[in-house]
Amino acid sequence: MKMIGVILMALSVVVAGCASEVKRQSSNIVLHETTPGKRLVLEQPVMFTLDSGYQRTIKPGTEFVEIGSIQQGRVLKPLNTILTVEGAHMHEAYAVVDNDILTGFYLPVEIAFSPLSQTVVINLKEK
Amino acid sequence: MKMIRLGAALVMAVLLSACASGPKLAEMKSAIPTLKASEGRVYFYRSSSMFGAAIQPSILLNGQKVGDSIPGGFFFVDMAPGSKEVSTETEVEKKLTFTLDAGQTRFVKTTIGMGFAVGRVYPELVDNATGEKELEETSYIGKPLTK
């Protein structure tokens, strides 16, 4: 009986260790097609934890181009680095910013928005 | 004692044979064809490590096998731009999705991790500076190139 308890505990640890799928909701992006988007540079490093538990850091000097907007904010595509969100799978991501707050990520392949629960301030300067 | 030495030698031989043995990037860079303007290029590589060296799964790109994940090895695939999905055939499947533009080069690194029962290999997208630097340490394991 004791053995079954140990096995169940071990299994629960293993199951808890499996990452959950990245939360996302479908989103229609409005692209800036006619004029080239604003270029922005990150001034301070930004560190945050994704809702799936993975940690990410965006380094100062990272350049973004504003490619469009969604309901949750402006969609900024990184130019000199890559940004990914990760859960059970890994997805390329663009930053979504609204009033200097990183609200989440736009996933270009999934055409979806992945929200960020944590409030993260992001300071960007126009280039 | 003799048996231990023999066993150790056998293990070393197996591990060494599990690593890539083609030409280094610097030796064959000139043979790599120029990327067509209408296509994008994806480099796949795995850093050299003895840990999990025997686990060498196939790499699938949009469901099609494009090569194998071999420690210390790299290869590349040129293809039409669009959405890409990379996965490896291991115990737990972890997919990677990204976009590829015409004229763009991307780097996908496969890394060994610990699964429930055995090691598993998963793909991750790395930035070009990191990819270019790490590729220098690997050997070409793709199809023969003619130029």
Q: Do A82 and B127 touch (CB under 8 A)?
A: yes
**CA dist B83 to A36, A89, A111, B80, Å?**
22, 15, 11, 10
Residues of chain B positioned with their CB less than 8 A from the CB of A89? 94-97
pLDDT level of residue B2 (50, 70, 90 thresholds): low
Closest Cα of chain A to B91: distance in Å? 13
- Alpha carbon distance A3, B1 (integer Å): 39
The answer, for B85 touching chain A at a CB cutoff of 8 Å, is: yes
How confident is the model over B4-10, as a mean pLDDT? 56
Average pLDDT score, chain B: 87
Weakest-pLDDT range from A113-117, B8-12, B114-118, B128-132: B8-12
How confident is the model over B11-32, as a mean pLDDT? 74
For the record, the structure tokens of A83 come out as: 């940004």
Weakest-pLDDT range from B6-10, B58-62, B70-74, B92-96: B6-10
Among candidates A80, A82, A110 on the partner chain, residue whose Cβ is nearest the Cβ of B97: A110
- Alpha carbon distance A44, A4 (integer Å): 51
Strand partners, A105: A95, A114
In the sheet with B105-114, reading across from the earlier edge strand, the strands are: B119-126, B105-114, B40-45, B73-79, B139-140
**CA dist A127 to A40, A74, B83, B115, Å?**
5, 16, 29, 44
Q: Do B95 and A90 touch (CB under 8 A)?
A: yes
Cα angle: A9, vertex A14, A20; to 5 degrees:
130
Q: Do B127 and A89 touch (CB under 8 A)?
A: no
For the record, the structure tokens of A76 come out as: 């900024």
Residues of chain A positioned with their CB less than 8 A from the CB of B130? none
For residue B59, the SS3 value is strand
Mind listing the pLDDT tens digit for each residue in A83-115? 999 999 999 999 999 999 999 999 999 999 999
With a pLDDT cut of 70, the percent of chain B lying above it is 84
pTM of the model: 0.84
